[in-house]
Structure 1
Amino acid sequence: MTSKKVSHYILLISVHGLIRGRDLELGRDADTGGQTKYVVDLARALAYQPSVGRVDLATRLVDDPEVGADYREALEPLDKSAQIVRIPAGPEGYIKKEELWDYLDIFADNLLEWLRQQTRMPDVIHSHYADAGYVGVRLSLLTGIPLVHTGHSLGRDKLGRLLAMGLSSDLIEQRYHISKRISAEEDVLANAELVVTSTRNEIAEQYELYDYYQPERMVVIPPGTDLEQFHPPENKVKIAFGKSLETFLNNPKKPMILALSRPDERKNIVSLVHAYGESPELQKLANLVIVAGNRDDIREMDEGAQAVLTEILLLVDYYDLYGHIAIPKHHKQEDVPDIYRLAALSKGVFVNPALTEPFGLTLLEAAACGLPLVATENGGPVDIIGACHNGILVDPLDSSAIANALLEILSSPKKWEKFSEKGLKNVRKRYSWNTHAQKYLETIQPLLEHHPEFPKVARVRGDLSYRDRAVFSDIDQSLLGSAEGLKAFAAYLAENRKKVFFGVATGRRLDSAMAILKRNGLPVPDVLITSLGTEIVYSPQMTPDSAWARHIDYHWNSKAIRRIIGELPGLTLQPKSEQSRFKISYHYDAEQAPTVEEIQTLLRQEEQAVNVYISFGQFFDIVPVRASKGLALRYFAQQWNLPLERILVAGGSGADEDMMQGNTLAVVVANRHREELSGLREPERIYFAAQPFALGIIEAIEHYDF
């Protein structure tokens, strides 16, 4: 990679789909669409800016014989100082984004470990889509690096549309894990310094649905298009793709109505076929060409694509459109610019009839090749056609409106020329990647200047430096509860003191934790993570970690939180002995109090980014957003250079969940509250013990051969 005088380092994260620097398999499936192209183009565009020294695009490593070998390469250079970094997480094989949620903590841990091995940390993290947002929040909370986010599409908007289609809430949850996605999006909005959107519509109508809605933190920066790749056709140049259409069409020289998208119900191609089939005049004027991904056998495609393509074929037969419509089975990504140019040469029109279109990158590509547009009035096309004045917006559910708009352009050579020329001119002026990158860097400049990474503190290690693994446990209902188990655990610690750190991670304050451990005859831990991850203390001098305290103080406003929560029924403050500087604790009466989700919503609406926990069904705690048992544990591991794979964590309630996810080895001990952790699914790293309390920890030590 080449070096530059100014060296801003930007980390882009896009977890799902198949991402590589060449021959992008757009349309292969629902996960490999416009977003994959967007992030690759963005990485390249940023790397060409003089002030940027390095751009890494982090995605998931896939080692699967069903996909190309490129996706198993850990590093892939792009251009200039940009590269793709592939991080392993979960199964080696390719899995769809809805199944990735259980592995995102592992992805975050592995990515952070990779970053620690680099010569410097990024200046900014930019996550793309909800899954990457989840990862970005974790990294930002741990490192203090500012987070920028682009949603691409949003879960609350999708949920509304799926419900409107008649799908049940249970089916939506089962198929899309929509609650996890929306929760991740809420956390992103609470923690991102900046949200980059493609259109004003996203801000006004989609993000407005979220609790932590702060439009002042949002900026519209439309994506660009590659003007070297997408350009008008040259005279007398034969386009090879035209041959593949000749077998479908009686008169291939007629103008082409072109639709290019995934065979996805939301893309609404079926309505376009209805519009064409119901208009003999349109059939006389033009051919309909639908480029909808690649297929060998429709029966082997996923359920959604299969349903769309089957419906299209049934409509072709119903309207007897044979000879008027082409639905080619295959195309390569490098064919796409030529497909647009072929349509432009025919004096055709590009149409996007999607139910809603978050942005509409294909509209820019088509316009850059000289095609007039007909597009949905829902979403990004409003901004694009509004800025370029090169087409007509339509109601995607009104097939006659679609047909009339197409007829208006196709039957008027003057209008066609006007729209074509305006599109060419305005796309070049407003939607180049260079323009996007320049505005992006101008917008994030304050983040690059004012967010240093929190300091590392040098530790006096003494004999602790010989320890190469650690056991951390919660105290109540995890470590305590069985005299036999405590005796066995104490013997394990005594036998392994020279090589094993002993730590506790508890909701108790330091004084309370020390007292109960002493009362039960346990040795003083080497590390105490107390008050739900808000305090880290090292023995034997009981030295508090002041750097951690400074780090978690970020945006913490205890007075505002007490004011917001104070009037709610079913919540009463616990005694002062249970409160601390960074922990507000309540007794929780489930019969009177709002649900935890409702309280979290209220706090978000009041712009309080915090972590909330319910433990043992009766204790409700609020801590800073940068504090949790899991985050504190990872901070400790970083400070002592201890791999997470060598840390065994034990817990038994919901407050322990985030320290059990990711690369740690975990055990859920048997107790009456373990159901709070029943959603954890990672059989190689999360073990559900048959034995209760400390006996369960001993069982896990044997299970993992720790």
Structure 2
Amino acid sequence: MPRTQLPVDNSPQPVEKSGFFIALLSLHGLIRGHELELGRDADTGGQTKYVVELAKALGEREDVRQVVLLTRKVVDPRVSPDYAEDIEVLSDKVQIVRIACGEPGYLRKELLWDSLDAFCDNTLAYFQKTTGLPDILHSHYADAGYVGARLSRQTGVPLVHTGHSLGRGKRKQLLASGVDPAELEQTYQISRRIDVEEDTLSVAVRVITSTRQEVEQQYAMYDFYQPERMRVVPPGTDLQAFHPPVPKAQRRPPAIAKELERFLRDPSKPIILALARPDPKKNLIRLVQAYGESEALQAAANLVLIAGNREDVADDKAVSGQVHGELLLAIDKYDLYGKVAYPKHHLPADVADLYRLGAATGGVFVNPALTEPFGLTLIEAAACGLPTVATQDGGPVEILANCCNGYLIDPLDSQDMTTKLLHVLEDRLNWQRMSKKGIEGVRKHYSWEAHVARYLEVIRPLAEKTEPMATFTKGRKPSRFRQRALFTSLDLNLTGDAASLAVLIQRIQSERKSLLFGVATGRHLDDALGELRRHGIPEPDVLITHQGTQIHYAPGLNRDTAWEQHIEHHWNPAEVRRLLAGYPGLTPQSREQQSRLKISYIVDPTVADVAAIRQTLLRGEQDVNVVFSFGQFLDVIPTRASKGLAVRWCAGRLGFQLDRTLVAGVTAADADMLRGNTLGAVITSQHPDELAGMSGADNIYYSHSQFADGILESMAHYGF
């Protein structure tokens, strides 16, 4: 029998897809594939550069089929028409796709919230009409997180999220800078942002961060924090911009080299390079002190300080001006003229040249910061072949472990800093080994190729659906977040008994989402941090130092400059010093114990009477707060300042209730923390008389135990 002829199927056949289709979401700011307008405003910063570079780098991978970077379409005569183009092709596999989102004009990110649902609908329509659904959605920042979470719920496409910055941390930064809490809501809509971040974390199956510290100190503060979903993927570095020096015969001095030569007696010496913004927590003063106190360091190298750009230091009343002034005074104190270069200005393009100049001279890069969440400058320096010495806090620990090109230091130990710098500078073979290791380490761990390889490892199981997409099972309890607060002094409270302290620390850590932890001390910031680290005490959410004249917020020790502006009212330190100069039984403490808003003395109580000292200042028309503690220390601070007033300022800024705040004190310096509506606890100590007069006050509990045991006893008494 003849065979039956089967009909030929001429219909389109499905094409087998190979590689991943990834959709990146980054809504705010101005995004294009060339000449990014970095720094144009607060919305056009590092994130815009990162997402464009990520899209390009993903497009170079064979296992990636397609990449679309979805952003907001902007039609506005104030900006380039580039941002109104629907499609911008970056390569044969990569496009920027601009989606309509409400008002077409260029708006700051805080004004986009009510338009994001329209962006979601338009994005889904785009997928349906063109490419089909992607394998992965990756949202960047909170606004894109809102869109990504909504689209993921609608389509089932796995959501990966990168926060870049988080609302809870941003809230503290803005409060510290002086922004009023009401303005935070009106201008920045911060509560709405935090709620969106919580929702995004409940949906995202992976959250990508730059460092482990970011996970533990920032994301852990969220109700929907799920540590099993967090992945650390260090960002990529532009190795075309940051590369080792060319051979000497081909080398021409960069423009910044001539600027440094104006300062240096012998410009050919190796360079100790520090590059940081003028902020006290960057710890540049201690670096100058270490250099000034070491003849060996001065003989081995010049010191180059790049601390932002400055104009007239005398006119700069901000914290940056204070730092610049202190640096200049320290240079003068140690007579470092001809050995320290401290240029007023530099350009962004000079940064890579500075690293290469340091490498060409056989120098070292130093990051002495008190806290360093990531440490991009360390990676840039290593890429240029410059060995590094860096703080043992945060990101540098991971970076130096990967690059093996330097040493970690205790940023509060000047001798440790000096010793490690000399280790690098004086052993030439070791220097060459570390220089080579740094270059190799950056290429292996921090190049864009390395970043994308690790990134794809993270998303591959999700895109290939070889890993189940677990749902979040815990119910959110937003009302529990930081309802209570614990503030304690440092000496003789947290310190004194290691065993009970360990129990207290465990208790605080276990309740970190619902309990705000604060430390209030008379010590200066460096000294207080040293004590906290020495005793293994975690960084508090609020650190009040200098007898209540400085407030710092975690993460990152953000300094509350608004508080300092508030308390400076009618403060006249020069007149205070004049009135107390030569006062019998009164000796000024060391310069390190003084600050702009605190004048400190040691008192001989057999000679000087504290009440009489107060009267002397009052007769001199100085309305100040005089604090006497530990039977020998006397601090004169502005009348608006004290530990107790600082706690109350924080309550107003951060929103915790005083009647749910336990305050533990030991000495008279803690007295006004204990008064009022707080839940006061006087911890038994060797100075029982200083707070004995408060025994009749309401809400004051006297513990039977000492040290941290006394705090735990007080917590039990108040039902904490």
TM class, shorter-chain normalised? Answer: 0.5 to 0.7
Task: Return the alpha-carbon distance in structure 2 between the equivalents of residues 311 and 4 of structure 1.
Answer: 64
Residues 93 and 405 (structure 1), Cα distance of their counterparts in 2 relative to 1, 3 Å cut: farther
1:72-100 residue CA offsets vs partner (Å, 9 max, x unmatched): 55443334522333445466666655555
Distance 1:83 1:598, change over 3 A: same
Asked if residue 240 in structure 1 is aligned to residue 254 in structure 2, the reply is yes
1:149 CA drift (Å): 0.9
Paired position in structure 2 for 1:366: 381
> Given the alignment of the two structures, is residue 310 of structure 1 paired with residue 321 of structure 2, yes or no?
yes
Q: 1:290 aligns with which of 306, 309, 312?
A: 306
Equivalent position SS for 2:464:
helix
Deviation at 1:192, TM superposition (A): 0.4
Q: Is 1:187 aligned with 2:202?
A: no
Q: 1:414 to 1:298 in 2, by over 3 A?
A: same
Compute the displacement of 1:50 (Å). 0.8
Alignment partner, residue 698 of structure 1: none
CA–CA distance in structure 2, aligned partners of residues 374 and 172 of structure 1: 38
Aligned partners of 1:11 and 1:124 also within 8 Å: yes
User: Per-residue deviation at 1:396?
Assistant: 5.4
Aligned equivalent of 2:361: 346
The 1:554/1:369 distance shift into structure 2, 3 A limit, reads closer
Decide whether the 8 Å contact of 2:443 with 2:450 is kept in 1.
no
- In structure 1, the partner of 2:433 is 418
Q: Please give the per-residue CA displacement for 1:619-656, whole angstroms capped at 9, x wherever unaligned.
A: xxxxxxxxxxxxxxxxxxxxxxxxxxxxxxxxxxxxxx
When residues 60 and 199 of structure 1 are mapped into structure 2, their CA distance, relative to the original with a 3 A threshold, is: same
Distance in 2 (CA, whole Å) between partners of 1:154 and 1:114 is 29
SS at match of 1:127: strand
Q: 2:291 aligns with which of 257, 279, 282?
A: 279
Give deviations 1:36-86, integer Å, cap 9, x for gaps.
Answer: 333222212211111212112233455667766655554433345223334
CA deviations over 1:352-373 (Å, ceiling 9, x no partner): 4555444333322221111112
1:433 is aligned to 448
Q: 1:387 aligns with which of 397, 402, 405?
A: 402
Q: CA deviation at 1:418?
A: 3.4
Which amino acid is the alignment partner of residue 358 of structure 2?
A
The equivalent of 2:50 in structure 1 is: 38
* Residue 66 of structure 2 is aligned to residue 54 of structure 1: yes
* Paired letter, 1:240: P
What number of residue pairs does the alignment pair up? 456
Q: Deviations over 1:234-261 (max 9, x none)?
A: 1122243435634753354343344456
Cα distance between partner residues in 2 of 1:74 and 1:247: 50
**C-alpha distance in structure 1 between counterparts of 2:278 and 2:125, whole Å:** 37
AA partner of residue 204 (structure 1):
E
**Per chain length, whose mean CA-contact separation is higher, i.e. which structure has more relative contact order (CA < 8 Å, sep 6+)?**
1
**Contact 1:368–1:427 (Cα < 8 Å) also in 2:** yes
Contact 1:146–1:451 under 8 Å retained in 2: no
**2:393 partner SS:** coil
1:623-638 superposed matches below 5 A: none
Q: CA deviation at 1:129?
A: 2.4
> Aligned partners of 1:382 and 1:180: how far apart in 2?
35
Deviation for aligned residue 1:11? 1.1
Q: Which amino acid aligns with 1:11?
A: A
The 5-angstrom pairing of residues 94-243 of structure 1 reads: 97=109, 100-101=112-113, 103-159=115-171, 176-236=188-248, 237-243=251-257
> How far has the Cα of 1:219 moved from its partner?
2.1
With normalisation by structure 1, the TM-score equals 0.55
Q: Aligned partners of 1:556, 1:411: CA distance in 2, in Å?
A: 55
Give the C-alpha shift of residue 400 in structure 1.
Answer: 7.2
AA aligned opposite 2:325: L
Give yes or no for contact 1:6–1:50 (8 Å, CA) kept in 2. Answer: no
> Equivalents in 1 of 2:358, 2:16: separation in Å?
42
CA distance in 2, matches of 1:74, 1:434: 29
* Secondary structure at 1:374 match in 2: strand
Q: Residues of 1 paired with 2:417 and 2:121: CA distance?
A: 49
The residue correspondences of 1:246-257 to structure 2 (distance < 5 A) are 246=260, 248-250=262-264, 251-257=266-272
Structure 1 distance, partners of 2:88, 2:272, is 38
Q: Which AA in structure 2 matches 1:188?
A: T
Q: Shift in Å at residue 124 of structure 1?
A: 1.0
- Structure 2 distance, partners of 1:59, 1:399, is 48
One-letter amino acid matched to 2:237: T
**1:409-457, CA deviations, whole angstroms, 9 ceiling, x for partnerless residues?**
34544443332222122222333322332332233223223499xxxxx
Match of 1:325 in 2: 341
Give, in whole Å, the separation in 2 of the partners of 1:39 and 1:146: 18
**C-alpha distance in 2, partners of 1:72/1:258?**
43
The answer for unaligned runs of 5 or more in structure 2 is: 1-14, 484-509, 511-720
Which residue of structure 2 aligns with residue 8 of structure 1? Answer: 20
Q: Percent identical across equivalent pairs?
A: 50
Provide the rounded CA distance (Å) in 2 between the counterparts of 1:315 and 1:4: 66
TM-score normalised by structure 2 residue count: 0.54
Q: Is the 8 A contact 1:232 1:341 kept in 2?
A: yes
Spell out, residue by residue over 1:264-301, the C-alpha distance to the aligned partner (whole angstroms, 9 max, x if none). 859x44x3255326632456632324274x89x899x9
| Structure 1 residues 279 and 436: CA distance shift in structure 2, 3 A | closer
Q: Which residue type is aligned with residue 256 of structure 2?
A: G
CA contact (8 A) 2:158 2:205 kept: yes
> What's the CA shift string for 1:195-238, capped at 9, x where partnerless?
12233333334322221222222222223334444321111222
Q: Is the 8 A contact 2:23 2:69 kept in 1?
A: yes
- Does the 8 A contact of 1:4 with 1:52 survive in 2? no
Residues 1:65 and 1:191: Cα distance change in structure 2 (over 3 Å): same
